[in-house]
Structure 1
Amino acid sequence: MRTDPSAALTMLTRLGFASRGLLYLVIGFLILRTGRTEDTSGALSVLAQGGGRILLGLMIAGFLAYGLWRLSDAAFNIERHEHGRKGLAERGGAAASGLVHLFLAWQAVRLFQHTGASSGSGDSGAQEQAQTALSLPGGQLLLIVAGLALLVVGILQFKKAWQADFLKHLEPGVAHQPWARYTGQSGYSARGAVFLISGAFLASAGFKRKAGEAGGMEEALTWLSSPWDTVVALGLLLFGLYCLIEARFRVINDVPVGGLARKARSKLPV
């Protein structure tokens, strides 16, 4: 019996949603239970140490499929975004999300090859990247633009939480449930806060030409004081739960893998 590649990609994409949810559950749990702050890469390392190669292998497959599905959406409008600037912006966001999750897959592959190894040197990845950017021509402007972009993303996350338009992607029977709405709204609000703080850190690093001012999710969570650290941690925990809801109930339009492959073959020289 032959497996439909489109159906297989859809199934693995659901695994990708679940894998992303697991990362955010770990991030929120660590803050609430131990006060330890991690970003998604750090959470992946924690899972690698605790879950071993089988869990990592599943997450690699999920992140790869999720990343390819997002990039396919950006290229072929799989999710049927509307025409115009809003649709283009949504497809651009899908492309960025796809690249981020392919990067997570790559990190998971590295951890898979060195299961049990220490997760890193303890240095801030955001600050190292900022230092690299500042050493390049136009690096200061690049940092400022990146910081402003993160600020915009943070605002859009709050807008998404307020309008609850994420519910349109769920099966109707679940989309109308209050628990789905409130879980998603809390999660996207927490993500919005993290993006805003990270964007402010990055823009500050650019304006001051100081890489030490840069920071990502881990630094943003560390910067928060009580009780806001707990509030955001709960929100990230709920975002993880919402990702699990999406893994089960999101309406995922299949990527026409077979059709795209045939179209690609038809363009090859005979």
Structure 2
Amino acid sequence: MRTDPSGALTTLTRLGFASRGLLYLVIGYLILKSGRTEDTSGALSMLAEGGGRILLGLMIAGFLAYGLWRLSDAVFNIERHEDGKKGLAQRGGAAASGVVHLFLAWQAIRLFNQSGGGGGSGGSGTQEQAQSALSLPGGQLLLVVAGLTLLVVGLLQFKKAYKAEFLEHLEPGVAHQPWARYSGQAGYAARGAVFLISGAFLTSAGFKEQAGEAGGMEEALTWLTSPWDLVVGAGLLLFGVYCLIEARFRVINDVPVDGIANKARSKLPI
């Protein structure tokens, strides 16, 4: 019996949404329970330690499928974004999300190949990357642009939370449920706060040419003082809940795997 590669990719993409949800549930839970801060890499390491190789293998498959689905959206517009600047921006965001989740898959593969799980990602990771960027020609400008980009992304997350734009991707019967709206709004607002703080850190590092000023999610969460750390932590936990809702109820347009493959074959020399 012939299998449907597009349907299989869609199923695994839902697994990717669930995997992302698990990461944010861990991040939010740790903040609320003990004040411990982790980024997605650190949460992935903790899940690898607690869940073992089977869970990690499922998350690898999910992240790979999710990353490929987002990149396919960027290239082939499978989510049917509108024409013009807004559509191009949405497809650019899809491409960035795809790269991020393929990177998470790569990190998960590294953990899978280790005999035991690793610790957290470490607070110096972002600073080391910033130092590497500063060593390049034009590295200072690169950091400033990256920081400003994160600031814009943070504002867009708040816009998405305020307008509840994310609901348009859910099945209609679920999109009108208060638990879907409020978990998504809280989650996107919390992510917006993290992006804004991280963007400010990175922009400062660029202007001052000091890699020590840089910081990612972990540093942003550490910077927050009470009660804002708990507020953002609760928001990130709710974003994890919303990702699980997406895993079940998001409308996912299939990637035309057969069509893409046939088109690629037609361009090969005979």
- TM bucket by the smaller chain? over 0.9
Contact 2:123/2:218 (CA < 8 Å) preserved in 1? Answer: no
Please tell me whether residue 201 in structure 1 is matched to residue 201 in structure 2.
yes
Q: 1:123 to 1:225 in 2, by over 3 A?
A: closer
Matched AA of 1:68: L
Q: What is the deviation of 1:15?
A: 0.2
Is this contact kept in 2: 1:15–1:62, CA < 8 A?
A: yes
> Percent identity between the aligned chains?
84
The question of whether the paired residues in 2 share the 8 Å contact of 1:23 and 1:240 is answered with: yes
Q: Which runs of 5+ in 1 are unaligned?
A: none
Cα distance in 2, alignment partners of residues 155 and 142 from structure 1: 20
Distance 1:251 1:241 in 2: 17
Which runs of 5 or more structure 2 residues have no equivalent in the other structure? none
Tell me which stretches of 4 or more aligned residues in structure 1 moved more than 2 Å. 117-123
Pair 1:174-2:150 in alignment: no
In 1, are the aligned partners of 2:42 and 2:122 still within 8 Å (CA)? no
Q: Provide TM-score, normalisation by structure 1.
A: 0.98
Paired residue for 1:234? 234
Q: Is the 8 A contact 2:175 2:181 kept in 1?
A: yes
Contact 1:17 1:62 survives alignment (8 Å): yes
- For 1:32-181, list aligned pairs within 5 A: 32-119=32-119, 122-181=122-181
Q: CA deviation at 1:124?
A: 1.4
The offset of 1:120, in angstroms, is 5.8
- What do residues 44-92 of structure 1 show as CA deviations (whole Å, max 9, x unaligned)? 0000011110000000000000000000000000000000000000000
1:178 deviation in Å? 1.0
Q: Report if the CA contact (8 A) 2:38-2:120 is conserved.
A: no
Kindly indicate whether residue 182 of structure 2 is the aligned counterpart of residue 189 of structure 1. no
CA deviation after TM superposition for structure 1 residue 35, in Å: 1.2
Aligned residues: 270
Deviation of residue 262 (structure 1)? 0.8
Shift, 1:179, TM fit: 1.0
In the TM superposition, residue 122 of structure 1 has moved relative to its aligned partner by 3.5
Match of 2:12 in 1: 12
TM-score (norm 2): 0.98
Residue in 2 that maps onto 1:222: 222
Q: In the alignment, is the contact (CA less than 8 A) between 2:131 and 2:211 conserved in 1?
A: yes
Assess, with a 3 A threshold, how the Cα gap between structure 1 residues 117 and 18 changes in structure 2: closer, same or farther.
closer
Secondary structure, counterpart of 2:83 in structure 1: coil
Q: CA deviation at 1:139?
A: 0.2
Give the structure 2 partner of residue 248 of structure 1. 248
**8 A contact 1:14–1:247 mirrored in 2:** yes
1:14 is aligned with what amino acid? Answer: R
CA distance in 1, matches of 2:133, 2:203: 12
Q: How far, CA to CA, are the matches of 1:14 and 1:115 in structure 2?
A: 28
Asked whether the 8 Å contact 1:52–1:115 carries over to 2, the reply is: no
Provide the C-alpha distance between the structure 2 equivalents of 1:121 and 1:14, rounded to a whole number of angstroms. 26
Q: Which moved more, 1:217-226 or 1:30-39?
A: 30-39
